[in-house]
């Protein structure tokens, strides 16, 4: 329905992402969602590190990397492995939970 007079048309965030990034399942949308998740992980690392009153250098020493690597992790400027993420959160004494969601997939058990 087109807006009339001075009415503003409202859109959900999902509608905006569908329009400008791509619909769910498209390569561009998948890449966007993955990059967003890495940003969130970086922010969580920074937040927990600061709560523990640690510097990037302190955290780097605990897992055997330079301060610059911790900075890159926190600022999402590097590819990161699950092993590194687990090492970082382990050094921060933070519990890590991963939620795996299968979309449009039917799982059958053997038997």
Percent of the chain with pLDDT over 70: 81
Please report which residue ranges of 1-111 form alpha helices under DSSP H.
13-20, 27-51, 56-63, 67-74, 82-91
Q: How many residues does the chain have?
A: 111
Per-residue pLDDT at 3: 54
Rounded Cα–Cα distance for residues 54 and 41 (Å) = 17
* Homologous superfamily (CATH) for 13-91: lambda repressor-like DNA-binding domains (1.10.260.40)
- Residue boundaries of the structural domains of the chain: 13-91
Query: Please, which pLDDT band fits residue 28 given cuts at 50, 70 and 90?
Result: confident
Q: What is the separation of C-alpha 48 from the centre of its chain, rounded to a whole number of angstroms?
A: 15
Per-residue pLDDT at 104: 62
Rounded Cα–Cα distance for residues 10 and 16 (Å) = 10
Per-residue pLDDT at 54: 94
Q: State pLDDT tens for residues 65-78.
A: 999 999 988 987 66
Rounded Cα–Cα distance for residues 48 and 109 (Å) = 39
Rounded Cα–Cα distance for residues 30 and 83 (Å) = 22
Predicted TM-score (pTM) of this structure: 0.60
Judge whether residue 5 has pLDDT over 80. no
């Amino acid at each position: 329905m087109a807006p009339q007079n001075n009415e503003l048309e409202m859109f959900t965030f999902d509608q905006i992402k569908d329009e400008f990034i791509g619909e769910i399942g498209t390569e561009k949308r998948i890449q966007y969602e993955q990059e967003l998740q890495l940003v969130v992980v970086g922010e969580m690392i920074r937040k927990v590190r600061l709560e523990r009153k640690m510097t990037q250098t302190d955290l780097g020493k605990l897992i055997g990397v330079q301060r610059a690597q911790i900075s890159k992790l926190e600022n999402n400027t590097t590819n990161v492995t699950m092993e590194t993420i687990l090492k970082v959160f382990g050094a921060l004494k933070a519990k890590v939970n991963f939620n795996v969601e299968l979309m449009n997939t039917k799982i059958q058990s053997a038997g």
